[in-house]
Amino acid sequence: MVTSLVTSKQGIYVDGTFGKGGHTRALAAALNKSATLVGIDQDASLLETFDQSGIAQSLHLVHANFENLDQALRAMGIQQVNGILFDLGLNSATLEDAARGFSFDRNGPLDMRFDQSKSLTAAKVLNEYDEKSLSKILFEYGEEKAARKMAAAITKRRKTTSLETTADLRTIVAELTPHKYLVKALSRVFQAIRIEVNHEFEALRSGLEKGLDLLVPGGRLAVISYHSLEDRIVKRYFQSQALQSAPPEIQPYQTTVPGRVKLVTRKPIVPSVEEIKENPRARSAKLRVVERIS
């Protein structure tokens, strides 16, 4: 990732998904002391516990959603940057923390908020959304074929008792799914609810757009995604910015002209076998990078 992102060793680099700071540390190691680093995460608890020792550059940590990247940087007096990284999703510590409600393997409250200052929780989605909306979320954000049946079972169940825990949701999914497909169904359902709670796709679309706006010519935006729905959004947006409709006067000869970026990765970069062995959760990771040309 670092080699694909860094084009100027003394530039300003933004890690828009700071997490535990692993990528920021890798960037710091590749940059000169005079570079500036900005780490952004919507989960404030991760920023509070970070130990800055060993980082030679000035590092600013900001609690924000990358959908507001422009405001966050402007508030620091930064108008343009040399590189931006989004490593999407959630980090393993958050997934493993039962109290955050992201894991179907650990019983906990139906929370699933990345940003705990927000009010929409998984419990609210599951107990308050109408059946049609739930079905749409499960189908569109989880690609769950049994979305309608599951939405019906959720709304039926909550007429007697509301859903409060991850085990409550797991039980409903388990009742409707053959055992051998259970883990996959749970992954799809938990993913779908999480995407809704954190309006992840809207944030991603907005983050990509603002990210490109903020790059200097020659600057790069790198995105690591972990499932096909996210990757599709990134791929389509990058393609739309790499090729734009030709102006009317040249339309007879050519329908498209180069846009404001070039694709650094025509095909996404995927982890090597060794990387997957070291970190099995990276197996579905896809890295796409674009460079601003104008």
Write out the residues near ligand SAM by the rule CB under 6 A: 17, 19-23, 40-43, 46, 65-67, 87, 89-91, 114, 203
Kindly tell me which of 66 and 139 has the beta carbon lying closer to ligand SAM: 66
CB of 116 to ligand SAM, least distance (A): 10
Kindly tell me which of 20 and 158 has the beta carbon lying closer to ligand SAM: 20
Kindly tell me which of 71 and 245 has the beta carbon lying closer to ligand SAM: 71
CB of 126 to ligand SAM, least distance (A): 21
Helix axes 147-160, 166-176, angle to 10 degrees: 130
Residues 154 and 126: beta-carbon distance below 8 Å: yes
Neighbouring C-alpha atoms within 13 Å toward the C-beta of 216: 15
CB of 223 to ligand SAM, least distance (A): 11
- And the tokens for 69? 């990247």
Place of tokens 């039962």: 98
CA dihedral sign, ordered 243, 248, 249, 253:
positive
Query: For strand 286-292 and strand 261-263, is the pairing parallel, antiparallel, or unpaired?
Result: antiparallel
Place of tokens 């933004």: 14
CB of 262 to ligand SAM, least distance (A): 25
> Rounded to an integer, what distance in angstroms lies between the CA atom of residue 72 and that of residue 67?
10
Dihedral angle, C-alpha 49, 54, 60, 62, nearest 10 °: -30
Kindly tell me which of 42 and 82 has the beta carbon lying closer to ligand SAM: 42
Kindly tell me which of 37 and 40 has the beta carbon lying closer to ligand SAM: 40
